[in-house]
Structure 1
């Protein structure tokens, strides 16, 4: 498996496209600029299987309806945010004038708990990492040594907690009890900014 980071939209949210040798693909957080996603998928002859959402803030869901419609694929979202795609107040789009109010379709698949998941040949673990938002999750691909952390943990920073449902104490607990316990060489692929490693954040992140 390999992955490609594609920053999208006004806030440059990282969309990740994962692909395997069979050209199957997963799309993590299609936040905006649908055309860029389509171009990458088509240029690389990929076959999307699903959309994985680390959480349902507006900058991570802006192209989710178009992507699902284009390839007739489901979106996976944690149960604690099961109604956020449809609600501009909760997904935050109502409070950011640079975007329209997002009333997206509900997610087809609900992640009810921390669990091992398989989609096609992709095998990964869903880690519940709330705090930035109540339903924030991280997708851990142990075999590849990478975790897609959404807006929980960044290079040198952590997620903001001043939006609807945010809680800094909960976020810090998530980071310490779920993410920092991973092998130190694990690559952290965050929702914004540069990739980092668990070791680097343990050693240098001023919030931790």
Structure 2
């Protein structure tokens, strides 16, 4: 069984997760948003205290707030394998350039495409004794993916589906209709009890969002 621990990092309140196998202690770091040394230290302290072995870096998309700490993770655990999807590298600015467009005068170290293993729809990634299935969910970002752990009933949705809402679509290559189509095709077939851990805000479930999320009304 997989367990999950949530951190909230940076002024934009981004959720970074550590997903780990209780028995093997193998871990995945998802969307590392740690932007300052104190946040990096919190992430490392939890991993050390829990005696975890980071095996995977999983990035749902390449918006700056979700990859701010990716370079730190790769330096700290050099044996880790990083996964993301390709379209964001082709279609949106590099994270450091995104920062400049928001007039944020801070340093962000870009991680090049070559540092990632690129994955797409229905690819499988093993973590401990369980597999994560990759779901392609564009709309918030053109290369957005999610990670679904069926046996543990966990969906890591990034910035696509959040508690009571959906991700914004006014950023680079965002597409509202495409995002709704992605959610309908990829998430709504999942069991109602699937726990959704999103990129911002509190956890929710597929069933809760199916019943109460105003953006999903009329979808099935």
Query: Displacement of 1:181 after TM fit?
Result: 1.2
What is the TM-score normalised by the length of structure 2? 0.87
**2:56 matches 1:50:** yes
Query: Displacement of 1:117 after TM fit?
Result: 2.3
What is the TM-score normalised by the length of structure 1? 0.92
Query: Displacement of 1:78 after TM fit?
Result: 0.3
Between 53-62 and 119-128, report the one with greater CA deviation: 119-128
**2:77 matches 1:71:** yes
Query: For residue 29 of structure 1, what is the aligned residue in structure 2?
Result: 31
RMSD: 1.7
The runs of 5 or more residues in structure 1 that have no matched partner are: none
Query: For residue 81 of structure 1, what is the aligned residue in structure 2?
Result: 88
1:1-208 → structure 2 map (5 Å cutoff): 1-20=2-21, 21-32=23-34, 33-72=39-78, 73-82=80-89, 86=94, 88-89=96-97, 92-98=98-104, 100=106, 102-106=108-112, 107-208=115-216
User: Contact (CA 8 Å) 2:27, 2:127: kept in 1 or not?
Assistant: no
List 4+ stretches of structure 1 deviating above 6 A: none
Task: Name the CA shift for 1:88/1:136 in 2 (closer, same or farther; >3 Å).
Answer: same
User: Contact (CA 8 Å) 1:115, 1:125: kept in 2 or not?
Assistant: yes
The runs of 5 or more residues in structure 2 that have no matched partner are: none
